[in-house]
Structure 1
Amino acid sequence: MTPSARVSAAIEILGVTFGQRRPLAEALKDWGIAHRFAGSKDRAAIANLAFDALRVRASSAYAMGSDEPRALLIGALHDLRGLDVAGMEALFSGERFAPEPLNDAERARIGAWLLEGAPDHIAGNYPDWLAPSLGAAFGADAVEEGRALATRAPVDLRVNVLKGARDKARKLLEHLEPEPTPLSPYGLRIAVGSDGRGPSMLAETAYVKGLVEVQDEGSQIAALLAAAKSGEQVLDLCAGGGGKTLALAAQMDNRGQIYAHDSDGRRLTPIFDRLERSGARNVQTRPPRGQVDVLADLAGRCDLVFVDAPCTGTGVWRRHPDAKWRMRPGALETRRREQEEVLANAVRFVKPGGRIVYVTCSILIEENEAQAKSFLEQHPNFTAVPAEQMAKAAGLPDLARFASAHGPGLRLSPRTAGTDGFYVAVLMAKE
């Protein structure tokens, strides 16, 4: 497919997404099935164009005077890929499979690109109803934080120390030019290209053999702050696909025991292949079984209960830019109730002197510091571990600079840490 044809396809797919209120990934999949002539590179390029349009949807619509897919594509090509009018006209030629040529109004708006005086949620590219929450979390930096969340994320890898050291992985992947991550001692980072594409790891020897796993550096840090030790009894209460379970197993050097559970057994499905690839031998999966209490034997026995809580996912907008526009106000309250329930459940399994590590991939105070404070008020036998102590326990004292200004715990964001948005609090049970 020509670059112009790819732009036309992205405009078409965005139209389906908006018209049917569907996740972009579903619309992309259906388009690929209906257009089998499109190769893998074509499909990846089209997906990146569509996702870029959603990254800067609000500012593009404001500058272009329209929220139509064509206007959003033009805005993204200008804002994220640096195309001027001349560069845009080469794509919008009206020739075979190309979008119709630019009109005078579009040329004028590209040339002027006026965002002065735009409201914060427009300049920062986030939903207007979330503006008060982002303002509370970031103050005068809310727009810059929003812009950082609208950028493309790199490909971050976690080196599995059960299989080898970071230098070994870096050498095996040197053709991808990975660089060590600045915060995680086990991370490697691969930059995406100007078209937004990153490498596929599925055929890489280092990945196939379990030496590396795809995992954002922020997620790696969250697992490291749990400070899991060899010989401990650990419950990963919301294990999902097992990314943090595997990181904890590596920290524990395969000693002790990790119990991986999720209330939705389907979410655990990927963990089995990942465990086999990783060489982790100290993980037991505990999927739900109807009304059976599959965790009853762990009551009061765990040194660490890791709670990767359900959340709005506002911290991972770089990777799921369509999610921020599909999110509705009611979703926040739903997630808050789920977080309260899972934290209350976690208490059952912690032994005296043990700890709950509460993690979200959210940037909102309502899901983070406010939840930690509420938990501590309801459970006076728990205390919050200070951020400096959390960082030292993880062997990464420099992380203390990410201490939250809004309450207990640490918070990371693309702007401050170069990672996805994460919140981590350690809640210690008294002896």
Structure 2
Amino acid sequence: MRLGGRLAAAIEVLGDVEARRRPVADALKDWGLSHRFAGSGDRAAIGNVVYDALRRKRSYGFRMGDESAAALGFAAVIDGLGMAPEALAAALAGDRFAPEMPAPERLAGFLAEDLAAAPAAVAADVPDWIGERLEASLGLAWVEEAQALAMRPPLDLRANTLKAGRDKVVKALAPFGAEPAGLAPDGIRIAAIAGEGRHPNVQAEAGFQKGWFEVQDEGSQLAALLAGAAPGEQVLDLCAGAGGKTLALSAAMENTGQVHASDADRQRLAPIHERLKRAGCRNVQVRDPREDLAGLFGQMDLVFVDAPCTGSGTWRRRPDAKWRLAETALAKRLEEQDAVLDRAARFVRPGGRLAYVTCSLFHEENAERVAAFLARHADKGFAVADAGARWNALLPQADGRCRIDALGGGSVLAMTPRLTGTDGFFFAALERAR
């Protein structure tokens, strides 16, 4: 496909996402199934335009003076591919599949418009109500933080130390520009794609099939590291999902002790079985959602809660989610977080700890939930550990690379794309004295 056909396809997908308020991944998949002539390179290029347009939907609309799918598609091509309007017009000339170029004055306005004159939520590329919450959660730099959430993300991997060291994996993936991650000790990073490029299909590599590495954002790796799972411990991963953090905990424990992996959603949990087998994790016991876990009450050294959340920290990868998120959905997530924390508390032994993690940057889902938990369980002897001190001890090179806030005699922390270079994650550790 030529550029004109790719741009027309991207505009079609953007219109579908807007009209049906559906996940962009589903819209792109359906487009591909109904246009089988499009090759993998075409689909990747179309996806780039669509995702770039959704990441910067409000600022592109402001600069174009038009929020239509066509306007956003042209803005994404001009910005993402670095094409001057004249060069774009020349590239589309004679292409019968190409959409009509916007008026010259509209394109001139797009290039000249200064976002400094835009409302803060527009410059941040978020809905107004989300902007208010980000400002309350992130303070004066919230616009810059949100703008970092609108950038293309890197591809992060974790070397599975049960089978291979990081140096071995980096060497195997050298053709893709893989490098050691800046913070996570087992992390590997392939830089964000540029222009019409695409990330390599690393899951087709022999090293992946052998279990040498897993795809996992560096922030997710750091959250598992901060939890401090140690060899020989009894650990419950209460919201294990597909098992990314479960595998990281298993490797940190050197395949000793026991990790109980559970999730309320059987469908989410299903992929964990194949992943565990490939990674060689022998100390993980997958617990069926219908299984009674009462026998584990008061027995766990560590209960790891990767709580259901809005996913606001992952908007680089799922930009459509910020436009579909409703305030009612946030309220529902808060209820779910309180419920899972209350359930998790029952499993922590005296002297044990509870790690609470979200991939959200909203204060309501993070520190407020921890404070509410402490108020509800004052008789259980839970106290907030000093997550900031643990961060500095484990990652002395990363001083100042996360947000650390005092809470309940200890501290909690948040990772962000702007500060940490990762997806957005919140981490708190609670220790049970009795």
The bucket for the TM-score relative to the shorter chain is over 0.9
Superposed displacement of residue 403, structure 1: 4.6
TM-superposition CA deviations, 1:149-208 (whole Å, max 9, x none): 000100000000000111111111111111111110100100133125211112111111
Tell me the equivalent position of 1:414.
417
Q: Which residue of 1 aligns with 2:301?
A: 303
> Residues of 2 paired with 1:86 and 1:373: CA distance?
56
What do the CA deviations read for 1:212-241 (whole angstroms, capped 9, x no partner)? 100000000000001001110000000000
Matches within 5 A, 1:136-151: 136-151=136-151
The Cα of 1:355 is off from its aligned counterpart by 0.5
Task: Tell me if the contact between 2:405 and 2:412 (Cα under 8 Å) persists in the aligned partners.
Answer: no
With 230-239 and 21-30 compared, the bigger mean Cα shift is at 21-30
- C-alpha distance in structure 2 between counterparts of 1:196 and 1:358, whole Å: 36
Shift of 1:115: 2.3
For 1:314, the equivalent position in structure 2 comes to: 312
* Residue 430 of structure 2: aligned partner: 427
Q: Judge conservation of contact 2:403–2:414 (CA < 8 Å) in 1.
A: yes
Which residue of 1 is the match for residue 51 of structure 2? 51
| Range with bigger deviation, 76-85 or 150-159 | 76-85
Match of 2:395 in 1: 396
Aligned to 2:342: 344
Asked if 2 retains the 8 angstrom alpha-carbon contact of 1:301 and 1:350, the reply is yes
**Greater shift after overlay, 419-428 or 8-17?**
8-17
Q: Which amino acid aligns with 2:176?
A: L
1:132 corresponds to: 132
Q: Secondary structure at the match of 1:53?
A: helix
Q: 2:65 matched to 1:68?
A: no
Question: What is the identity, as a one-letter code, of the residue corresponding to 2:155?
Answer: V
Q: Percent identity?
A: 50
Q: Structure 1: which amino acid aligns with 2:417? A: P
Residue type at the aligned position of 1:103: A
| 3-state SS of 1:152 partner | coil
> Hey, what's the Cα distance between the residues in 2 that align with 1:191 and 1:365?
29
- Whether the aligned pair in 2 keeps the contact of 1:305 and 1:346 (CA below 8 Å) is yes
Unaligned runs of 5+ in 1: none
Are 2:3 and 2:92, in contact at CA under 8 Å, matched by a contact in 1? no
User: Structure 1 CA distance, aligned partners of 2:197 and 2:235?
Assistant: 38
Determine the structure 2 residue equivalent to 1:218: 219
- Give the 3 Å change call, closer, same or farther, for CA 429–400 of structure 1 in structure 2: farther
Aligned residues: 427
Alignment of 1:30-41 (within 5 A): 30-41=30-41
State how 1:37-186 maps to structure 2 within 5 Å: 37-93=37-93, 95-186=95-186
* 8 Å Cα contact 2:157/2:187 also seen in 1: yes
Distance 1:268 1:221 in 2: 22
Deviation string, structure 1 residues 282-309 (Cα, Å, up to 9, x no partner): 00000212xxx52111111000000000
Q: TM-score, normalised by structure 1?
A: 0.96
Query: CA distance change for structure 1 residues 277 and 146 in 2, over 3 Å: closer, same or farther?
Result: same
Judge which range, 398-407 or 139-148, deviates more.
398-407
CA offsets, 1:308-328, max 9 Å, x none?
Answer: 000000000000011100111
Question: Structure 2 counterpart of 1:239, which letter?
Answer: A
Superposed, 1:214-253 pairs within 5 Å as 214-253=215-254
TM-score (norm 2): 0.95
Structure 2 residues without counterparts, runs of 5 or longer = none
Q: Corresponding residue for 1:258?
A: 259
